[in-house]
Structure 1
């Protein structure tokens, strides 16, 4: 339907705009910010298909199928799907500049952390929930951001030049707590339909875990 197409377009663009506002430095000119981020985003754009992992690829396919079933033009479907596939590129490009590390290396660390903890699954499911209540919609949108932002904040605390290795070291050092968290996510995966309350609990536990 037309409503479905509009909703998907708004969700996709809202996420990117929120990311741009988040990484804009105090007093920074918008044009200067876009020029600063463009090389990193362009690099991730070229590599998107190879960098995306199972959950993100599955979500991309679901979005395309829903839009096509709603009668959206092929060109529009491709554009909306591309925006979804680049979700997080703004934050990764900005973080790469701040840490002096290539955005590709950071993306590998970002996705590895998401897979290891199940946060990629949680983020994909948050994006899939369509809530009728406006307050629940705000909660779900915030959760989808949290599952991404928590990983970016974790990577921002790193000091070395190999973020993937830093993730591996952290996972090993906190193996027991990581195991408990993963068990929580696995229980959620077995639920007939993940809901906002379930994902909010996962986000809260992830915030505590990644803050260690």
Structure 2
């Protein structure tokens, strides 16, 4: 049997390389799931979620103001912060991203439910000023625009100042056939945009007109 004198050095190098691999996301995920040392509790839709003030404040200016700003005395008295107008699963996904910087796995994994989850997660990211998550949601929604959802997505983009998503909706509508455009105009999203964001509709018509003039 021939002994390779370099094998021990190779093993040592592999150990050193492995030790240098970034583990902070994994470690923070464990911290989030175990709730070890958690010092703040959120009550969302009847569920209670524990977290760490410093982690949240470091990742969100909104949490910084809420947990260490003028409002901190109020939260310190009860130790529980009540979150309204948000589902527990969405808030949990928001916290998961804050800890891991990875797009959270949504329990719903089929069709319309996934779209709704991404919509709600974008709203949550905007509400708590988690811009990276907001951009990721915007990109994912841009890749799944369809006739049924395009106007609702356009309204969402306008409401939360997502210019990239808004432009993606415009481009999708511009290339549709007349029959597909009729289907778009038959959706509830169309009626909502007409009544709530007429300036967006005017902008859309201007883009369609400009495109037709170029042909």
Tell me which protein shows more strand as a share of its residues. Answer: 2
Fold in common (TM above 0.5): no
> TM-score with structure 2 length normalisation?
0.25
Whose relative contact order is higher, 1 or 2, with alpha carbons under 8 Å and at least 6 apart? 1
Bigger helix fraction: 1
